[in-house]
Every structure is written in structure tokens, then in C-alpha cells.
Amino acid sequence: MQLCQYPSQSRIRRFTLEAIQIPIVYNQYGDPAPPILRAYVGDPAKIRLVHGGIKETHVFHLHNHQWRLEGGNPVSTIIDSITISPQECYTLDILYGAGSRNRVIGDVIFHCHLYPHFHEGMWTLWRIYDRLEDGKGKLPDGSPIPLFCP
């Protein structure tokens, strides 16, 4: 019988770790890469949901907002998520507009409810404002943010 002897030293010492060479860039809000929908609370809202893919089925879920399963039917079931298969499309007529019945402001997430898809980036935000946004940032004291000059 022949015995085999395996090395017993730590394998970590055999490898060298190098820094990841991927640039990391953040914008001023830390927003996700996909486009962000924007509205003011109470604005009428419709979302046109189109699945242009050919393979995967998804479950579109919009937090804090609802729509009717059958648009235009006032007694249709109220839902906040819908399964969408390849080559399907829906028009979601959001009840009570942006912010819903509770008039919620801030960022509302919408995403695919299948976790692997959500984890891989199939999500974005709907930013709902309660006051006019002119695109000019202000410091907490109300003074304008100075332009960045490198």
C-alpha cells in the first residue's frame, strides 16, 4: 500500500491578490443605471410594460401602487404585480396617480419579482416629488451648490 502526502501549508500564501481594475463611478444621487421614472405626487400615471425578449417570463412588481387587471373595467381585480411573458405588453393605468392613494413621496422601487432577475439588475426607481424640482441642487442652508471645477 502506498500513501500519498498532501501539502499542509496554507494555500492562501500560494496566491497573490490583485486589486480589481474596474472603475467605480457614482453620480451625485447614487442612482441605479436604468432610467428613473419621475413624477409629482398626484400626477396621472400610465406605465406601458413591454416584454421584448424571447425566452424568460418575468413578474413585474411595482411597490406602493396598484392598477386594475383589466384596464377600463371598474370592477376588475386590483393588483400590484403581473406576470409578463415574451412578446406580451400591458398598459398599467395607475390608480390614484403617482404616490397612489396614500400620496407617498420619494423613491418607489419596481422590479422583477423573480429574485435571480432582481439580483442581476432588473429593477429601477420611480421618483415621486412633493415640490417643484428645477434641477439645481441646494445646500442645507438653502444656498446654491457651487459648480464643480476640477
CB 49 within 8 A of CB 58: no
Binned at pLDDT 50, 70 and 90, residue 139 comes out as confident
- Given this structure, which CATH class describes domain 33-124? mainly beta
Q: Is the pLDDT of residue 142 over 50?
A: yes
Q: Which residue has the higher pLDDT, 128 or 12?
A: 128
Predicted local confidence at residue 104, as pLDDT? 94
> Domain extents for the chain?
33-124
**Residue found under cell 406602493:** 64
Q: How many CB atoms lie within 10 A of CB 128?
A: 25
Among candidate residues 112, 113, 78, 111, the one with its CA nearest the CA of residue 95:
78
Q: Read off the C-alpha cell for 106.
A: 420619494
